[in-house]
Amino acid sequence: MVISTFNPKCPTGARNIAIIRVLYGCQLRSAECCDLHVRDYDGETLLVRHGKGDKRREVGVPHETREAIASWMSYRGENYVGSDYLFPTLTGGRVSTNYLRNAIVRARKKSGLKKRVHLHGFRHSGASRLLDKGAKLQDIQRQLGHSSIATTDKYLHSINDKARCLRISDSF
C-alpha cells in the first residue's frame, strides 16, 4: 500500500520506489541506502562501503529490486548527470534519512494505513522474508552485515513477533 502512493512515472516517485525496494529487498539500513553511489551497483549486487561500524559488505539484489532500480535509472540518467549518488536529491546531493522518514510518513497517511511504518521496518521485513523462504542464518547474517550470528538470530526472533513488527505485506 505505501509503495503504491508513489508515482512511478515521475523521477522522485521512481526514486522513492527504488529506495523502498532496496531497503526491503537488500535489507539495508536507511543511511547505507542514502550513501550508495552509482559505482556501487553492478546490476546484481550492491556494495555497501560504509555499513554500521564502517564495515564493508556486498549484498545481493533481488529481481524486483533490480527492476525498480532500472526504472529509476532511466530517469536518473537524463536528469542527474553531475551526481555520483545512486539516489540523489533533485539538486544532485545526498538524500537524507530525514527526507526518507518524512516521505514514508506522508505515504502511510496517503495510503490510509493506520499502523506505524518506519524505514528500519523494511529491513526487518526483508530479513524475515529471507528466513521464511528458507535462507540459511549465515546468509542472512552476511546480508544484514552482522558480525555475530547470535545478533542475527536475536534480530530475527524479535522481528518475527507479529505484535512488534509490521510485515511488508501490510505496507506494500
What are the cell numbers at 17? 520506489
**How many helices (DSSP H) and strands (DSSP E) are in the chain?**
8, 2
Alpha helices (runs of H) in 26-146, residue ranges in sequence order: 30-34, 63-79, 97-111, 119-132, 137-144
DSSP, res 39: G
Give the residue numbers annotated as catalytic, written as ranges. 29, 52, 120, 123, 146, 155
- In whole angstroms, what is the distance from residue 150 CA to residue 137 CA? 10
